[in-house]
Structure 1
Amino acid sequence: MPTIFAAGKTITCDRGDNLRRVLLRQGIDLYNGKASVINCRGIGSCGTCAVAVEGRVSEANWRDRTRRSLPPHDPQRPLRLACQTQVLGDVRVTKFDGFWGQGTEPVWTAESQ
């Protein structure tokens, strides 16, 4: 079973589980500010669940790549949409500031909330 390290928590999940669903089930605040109210609920169109992920996850699908290619995201940044990411092994997750999580200052890291 893969282990996810996020917001100071250690979470185990099944291989292939959706990263967004796992984080939300554990009470991890995945959205910044009002994004918690107006996000797309996991269909990959808003981009507000963007996080940095280190570890084994699925390849970015077309929804993930397309949304992150549009402003305010930068396609050169190594972020992923949690809603479009399946956990395949142990991962470390970091959430950044900015409405879409596109900022440069960590809101939370794998180790700290």
Structure 2
Amino acid sequence: MPQVVAQGKLIECESQANLRKVLLDHDVDLYNSGSRVINCRGLGSCGTCAVKVEGEVSAANWRDQTRRSLPPHSPTSELRLACQTQILGDVKVTKFDGFWGQGSQIVWTPEV
């Protein structure tokens, strides 16, 4: 079973599980400030669940690529939309500041 390390938590999940769902099911603070209330609930249209993911995950689909090509995101950043990402192997997740998680300051790292 793949393992996800996020916000100091070690989470085991099924292969091909949705990253957003896994993080939220384990009380990881995926959303910053007001985006906790105002987000697309996993449709891939708002971009507020953007995180840096290291490890084995699915290739970015068209929703992920399209949303990250629009401001304030950048298609050249290392971020992915958690709601559009499937976990294929062990991963480490980092969250950055900003309403859309697009900032330069780290909010939380995989480790505590």
TM-score, normalised relative to structure 1: 0.98
Map of 1:49 onto structure 2: 49
Deviation at 1:24, TM superposition (A): 0.1
Match of 1:93 in 2: 93
Match of 1:27 in 2: 27
Q: Give the gaps of 5 or more residues in structure 1.
A: none
| Equivalent position amino acid for 2:34 in 1 | K
Hey, what's the Cα distance between the residues in 2 that align with 1:36 and 1:47?
12
In structure 2, how many angstroms separate the alpha carbons of the residues matched to 1:22 and 1:3? 10
Structure 2: unaligned runs, 5 residues or longer: none
Structure-to-structure mapping, 1:1-113, within 5 angstroms: 1-112=1-112
Root-mean-square deviation (CA), in Å?
Answer: 0.4
* 3-state secondary structure, aligned to 1:41: coil
- Alignment partners' CA distance in 2, 1:57 and 1:83: 12
Q: Residue by residue, what CA displacement relative to the aligned partner does 1:30-79 show, whole Å, maximum 9, x if unpaired?
A: 00000000100000000000000000000000000000000000111110
Give the AA of the match of 1:76: T
C-alpha distance in 1 between matches for 2:86 and 2:57: 6
Corresponding letter in the other structure for 1:31: Y
Identity of aligned residues (%): 69
Task: Give the distance between the partners of 1:29 and 1:110, measured in 2 at CA.
Answer: 12
Separation in 1 of the partners of 2:3 and 2:100? 25
- The code of the aligned residue for 2:99 comes to F
Q: Where does structure 1 differ by over 6 angstroms across 4 or more consecutive aligned residues?
A: none
Q: Distance in 1 between matches of 2:105 and 2:54?
A: 17
- Normalising by structure 2, we get a TM-score of 0.99
